[in-house]
Structure 1
Amino acid sequence: MRNPLPAVPTKLPEIEVVAAARRGIPRATLAAAPAEGEEAVRAGEVRELAEDGDSPRWVAGIGEGEPKDFRRAGAALARSLRDAAAESPIRTVQVTLPESVTAAQVGELATGLSLGGYRFVVTASEPKPPVPAVRLIAGDGPAAEFAREVARVRTLAAAAAFTRDLANAPSNVKNPAWLANTAAKVVGEPVRVTVRDEKWLAENGFGGVLAVGGGSASPPRLIELDYRPRSAAQHLLLVGKGITFDTGGLSLKPNDGMHLMRTDMAGGAAVLGAVRAIAELGLPVRVTALVPAAENHVSGGSYRPGDIVRHYGGRTTEVGNTDAEGRMVMADALAYGIERFKPDLVVDVATLTGAMKVSLGLRTGGVFATEDAIAKRVVEAGARVGEAWWRMPLVEDYASGVEGTLGDVRQAPGGPGGIMAALFLREFTEGLPWAHLDIAGPARADKAYDDVVPGASGFAARTLVELAASYAG
């Protein structure tokens, strides 16, 4: 095949920490203030200076030197180096670290360098050269400590990049079977990956997944991952929405924006990326993950408004809007995961409601949680890895709105969309400690910011890893 998809997972640029610079290698510096005779370089800005001998030179602004400024500078530098490498054969760039830099700042810089130059393009031409390898010059700083932090954050960055790869893949390739097979191939040991097909789903009563997937020629799948370290004290169940394309079904979406629905499985992708990283880091937390994967299409097999769907475990849902398909597949997975695996904590992730984009915009995820402590952990985990979250209310006065008349619950009862969707999912959590993460806004981007590039952002993968790590102690 002449024009295959880019490699999945994307290979990140190599980053190593060394004590001293070498002559003849292009170099970059980080500037908090302008050098003598030079104009100031703003935080996140990169300027190419006159060549130093035979070597190009760049300067990247780090502003006030906050960790987030280092991440922005690293990302901007990665984009500049990628473009420079496309013009000339630059293989390695060395970056001189400022004096008194901390390991946290170095880690943020490495995050930006790892993700800022990310690109996923299906093209007939030869792909542009990747971001050059980077040597971080520690000088008198603790190089070994810096190297450990770089290795850790690069595992997190790889989780985000893998999440982007899966979400960016076009849906004429990425059907439920492709997503399941890719997960099985890439995640691998020590995680056990089991793929359940449509026959198994029918035999076990996954009515929500089968209803949503019934309109597509590509049958649904349930991707099941199990990571069981010997020393695990906590058991975390992750559930990620895996709708590989969403037309809205019979409640058809308008054409504008429908092409973006290839990223409607970004929650499932974040779960897959996170589990891979959790295993690679060897975190002592047992993690079970479920990704119900389906295509929501239009055909004679499509489910209908007015249908009554029986989920795993027997509860029934009155369908009001076939474009509210995410909660249908998530309900099955939540009910199955809780009954089958009996976790201590449940977290689900989904591009679930357009209402959340209205509420929080495109850079902040919404957190609904049954316990204050869980919401606090999610928000703090996100802050540590550069992902913003805001807690949303589970308003009990609205809970009666999801009660059904022809079935147990109503899928689309109206009212505040994000809250009602969360209250619907709560019906399938059996009273366990639970958090619902709605990432409809930040899961995709239309322009670059921080370490994010246009397309799928990889949002939530790093937060899930850091959240799991918070239970490791």
Structure 2
Amino acid sequence: MRTPVPSLPSPTPDIEVAAAPRRGVPTVVVASPGDESPEYGPGGADLGTDWATAAGLTGKAGEVHIAPDHATGVRWVAGVGEGAAADWRKAGAALVRAFEARAEADSDAGRKVPRAVQLTLPENTTPDQISAFVLGVSLGGYRYKVSSTEKPRLKSLRLVTAEDLRPAVDRALAFAQGTVATRDMGNTPSNVKDPTWLASAAVKLAARLPGLKVEVRDEHWLAAQGFGGLLAVGGGSASPPRFVELTWRPTKAAGPHIAYVGKGITFDTGGISLKPADGMHLMRTDMCGGASVIAALVTIARLGLPVRVTGLVPVAENHVSGSSYRPGDVIRHYDGQTTEVTNTDAEGRMVLADAIGYAVRRVQPDLIVDVATLTGAMKVSLGVRTGGLFSSSDELAERVAAAGARAGEAWWRMPLLADLEDEVVSEIADWRQCPPGPGGITAALFLRKFTGGIPWAHMDIAGPARAEKIYDEVVPGATGFSTRTLVELAASYTA
């Protein structure tokens, strides 16, 4: 019997834009650092230097304090720092976490538990600031837990502001829903999340979005089409592989046809090249690249972006059995190229090679972007908050990095070193899957062999796809990293 899991996607607070505050609802006041004392937004006129000093308020981003309020008893004061979008995102995330911690304490003590807050925004609030704040509120309180109990949550946030900021709020909510969907898919335990489940999740998320088409191909179709890499990786599992193709073709499309390719390994034991036991439980998130592609296509469709995008997700479970593929095997991919397997734990590049080859031959896009939790080497190189970016195109690399900056996701471009090209060449096949040397770079060089000369970018998210502690709007578990970058990248071609 399968474990019951939370619905997909998880709920986020309802956020409304209104012209006036509502009586009886706790208020939020924003604060920023001043020359001598913090400066307050609307609703904080009676909060002076003495209170700020006593409370320890400076106005820096992420600070949250409680001040007395005659009407509701509690008034929240949230620091927004110098006003950068990242500061507002941090403020929103800190606010929702502080609110829910107070709500839980009230519930435990038998006190009345508030479920809503309202914020009157300063008149000079920009669309970027309010978008970031909405993202922070929507994502900062995210939790995924298979449990019989439910802790108090923030149900709604009322933003008192001008009506012309509503589009920025709606756009931010679409981005937040996409990020939450990616987190949900990543966090779902692998006794539930087999390849069929992930493919079904794509179908469910895309339902009721006109213009977004989803096709799921099974192992029989894969065999007939020659997806040797995907079949080899999935061959050791009792749950057969799947191939998900999402197609967004708006009536009036601008810019290039984009292909997004995402690694969808629903659990990775390492296969015969077995992983160490420590940390293997985290391999339920090894499909976060695929989840990002699914959620990005859904978000692009929800926003109605006028750009043609195809999403390809090869889905498999890399397991150990008598039918597992082996080191030393030679695999023929969809496009006919062959690979010598040297490490079955380098399975991500095997399934991506098939999907990228399929994109080149069948989809025929103008550019290809793949995203994957691909190499531990990238986590060592860049840590857990920055994604690795490789590209055959300077222009595309610049667009990805700029999209990430707008999305609040950091990328660092890595080199495709020419002196390592020979390392990818095999003596008994076309290519060697896992050569020695800097692992993130050689993996990217391997993938480039399948791109057919089409402008291509590779996004290695092995570090930032999952988190072990809270920072900014991120909470432990799957982070949803790269989803917003993919959407922003597509949007950059519609301007």
**What range is the shorter-chain TM-score in?**
over 0.9
Cross-structure match for 2:170: 151
- Shift of residue 147, structure 1, vs aligned partner: 1.1
Quick check: 1:162 aligned with 2:181?
yes
Q: Which residue of 135, 149, 163 corresponds with 1:126? A: 149
Cross-structure match for 1:212: 233
Which amino acid letter does the alignment assign opposite residue 438 of structure 1? D
Checking the alignment, whether the CA contact within 8 Å between 1:30 and 1:59 is kept in structure 2 is yes
Checking the alignment, whether the CA contact within 8 Å between 1:413 and 1:420 is kept in structure 2 is yes
Cross-structure match for 2:71: 53
Give the Cα–Cα distance (whole angstroms) in 2 for the partners of residues 150 and 198 of structure 1.
Answer: 42
SS in 2 for 1:414: coil
CA RMSD between the two structures: 1.4
Give the Cα–Cα distance (whole angstroms) in 2 for the partners of residues 337 and 355 of structure 1.
Answer: 27
Cross-structure match for 2:87: 69
Q: For residues 204-353 of structure 1, what are the structure 2 equivalents within 5 Å? A: 204-233=225-254, 234-353=256-375
SS in 2 for 1:278: helix
Q: Which residue of 448, 452, 462 corresponds with 1:440? A: 462
Quick check: 1:113 aligned with 2:137?
yes
Checking the alignment, whether the CA contact within 8 Å between 2:216 and 2:243 is kept in structure 1 is yes
- Shift of residue 230, structure 1, vs aligned partner: 1.4
Give the Cα–Cα distance (whole angstroms) in 2 for the partners of residues 156 and 25 of structure 1.
Answer: 27
Give the Cα–Cα distance (whole angstroms) in 2 for the partners of residues 412 and 451 of structure 1.
Answer: 35
| TM-score normalised by structure 1 residue count | 0.97
- Shift of residue 417, structure 1, vs aligned partner: 0.4
Give the Cα–Cα distance (whole angstroms) in 2 for the partners of residues 85 and 208 of structure 1.
Answer: 50
Cross-structure match for 1:27: 27
- Shift of residue 16, structure 1, vs aligned partner: 1.3
Cross-structure match for 2:383: 361
- Shift of residue 52, structure 1, vs aligned partner: 3.1
Cross-structure match for 2:44: none
Closer, same or farther in 2 for the Cα pair 1:284/1:472, shift >3 Å? Answer: same
Checking the alignment, whether the CA contact within 8 Å between 2:91 and 2:133 is kept in structure 1 is yes
Give the Cα–Cα distance (whole angstroms) in 1 for the partners of residues 376 and 123 of structure 2.
Answer: 46
- Shift of residue 3, structure 1, vs aligned partner: 6.7
Quick check: 1:84 aligned with 2:102?
yes
- Shift of residue 126, structure 1, vs aligned partner: 2.3
Give the Cα–Cα distance (whole angstroms) in 1 for the partners of residues 2 and 264 of structure 2.
Answer: 29
* 1:368-389, Cα deviation, whole Å (9 max, x unpaired): 0111110000000000110001
- Shift of residue 51, structure 1, vs aligned partner: 4.5
SS in 1 for 2:74: strand
SS in 2 for 1:274: helix
| TM-score normalised by structure 2 residue count | 0.92
SS in 1 for 2:131: helix
Checking the alignment, whether the CA contact within 8 Å between 1:84 and 1:90 is kept in structure 2 is no
SS in 2 for 1:224: strand
Cross-structure match for 2:429: 407
Cross-structure match for 2:485: 463
Cross-structure match for 2:415: 393
- Shift of residue 2, structure 1, vs aligned partner: 11
Cross-structure match for 1:18: 18
Give the Cα–Cα distance (whole angstroms) in 1 for the partners of residues 472 and 72 of structure 2.
Answer: 31
Which amino acid letter does the alignment assign opposite residue 133 of structure 1? S
Which amino acid letter does the alignment assign opposite residue 178 of structure 1? W
SS in 2 for 1:135: strand
* 1:109-165, Cα deviation, whole Å (9 max, x unpaired): 111011111111001x22223322001122xxxx12211101011111111110000
Cross-structure match for 1:379: 401
SS in 1 for 2:177: helix
Give the Cα–Cα distance (whole angstroms) in 1 for the partners of residues 494 and 122 of structure 2.
Answer: 33
SS in 2 for 1:314: coil
Which amino acid letter does the alignment assign opposite residue 91 of structure 1? R
SS in 1 for 2:77: strand
Give the Cα–Cα distance (whole angstroms) in 2 for the partners of residues 334 and 2 of structure 1.
Answer: 33
Give the Cα–Cα distance (whole angstroms) in 1 for the partners of residues 126 and 370 of structure 2.
Answer: 34
Cross-structure match for 1:98: 122
Give the Cα–Cα distance (whole angstroms) in 1 for the partners of residues 151 and 403 of structure 2.
Answer: 35
SS in 2 for 1:275: helix
Unaligned runs of 5+ in 2: 39-46
* 1:393-420, Cα deviation, whole Å (9 max, x unpaired): 1111111111111000000111110000
Choose 272-281 or 45-54, whichever is displaced more: 45-54
SS in 1 for 2:68: strand
SS in 2 for 1:52: coil
Checking the alignment, whether the CA contact within 8 Å between 1:357 and 1:440 is kept in structure 2 is yes
Give the Cα–Cα distance (whole angstroms) in 2 for the partners of residues 32 and 326 of structure 1.
Answer: 45
Closer, same or farther in 2 for the Cα pair 1:85/1:306, shift >3 Å? Answer: same
Closer, same or farther in 2 for the Cα pair 1:131/1:405, shift >3 Å? Answer: same
Which amino acid letter does the alignment assign opposite residue 136 of structure 1? L
Give the Cα–Cα distance (whole angstroms) in 2 for the partners of residues 4 and 52 of structure 1.
Answer: 44
Give the Cα–Cα distance (whole angstroms) in 2 for the partners of residues 402 and 382 of structure 1.
Answer: 30
Give the Cα–Cα distance (whole angstroms) in 1 for the partners of residues 72 and 29 of structure 2.
Answer: 17
Checking the alignment, whether the CA contact within 8 Å between 1:85 and 1:132 is kept in structure 2 is no
Give the Cα–Cα distance (whole angstroms) in 1 for the partners of residues 409 and 455 of structure 2.
Answer: 22
Checking the alignment, whether the CA contact within 8 Å between 1:243 and 1:326 is kept in structure 2 is yes
Quick check: 1:419 aligned with 2:421?
no
Give the Cα–Cα distance (whole angstroms) in 2 for the partners of residues 443 and 383 of structure 1.
Answer: 17
Q: Which residue of 452, 458, 470 corresponds with 1:430? A: 452
Unaligned runs of 5+ in 1: none
Choose 41-50 or 276-285, whichever is displaced more: 41-50
Cross-structure match for 1:137: 160
Which amino acid letter does the alignment assign opposite residue 303 of structure 1? Y
Checking the alignment, whether the CA contact within 8 Å between 2:2 and 2:192 is kept in structure 1 is no
SS in 2 for 1:112: helix
- Shift of residue 92, structure 1, vs aligned partner: 1.8
Choose 390-399 or 237-246, whichever is displaced more: 390-399
Which amino acid letter does the alignment assign opposite residue 92 of structure 1? A
- Shift of residue 28, structure 1, vs aligned partner: 1.2
Give the Cα–Cα distance (whole angstroms) in 1 for the partners of residues 441 and 120 of structure 2.
Answer: 48
Checking the alignment, whether the CA contact within 8 Å between 2:228 and 2:334 is kept in structure 1 is yes
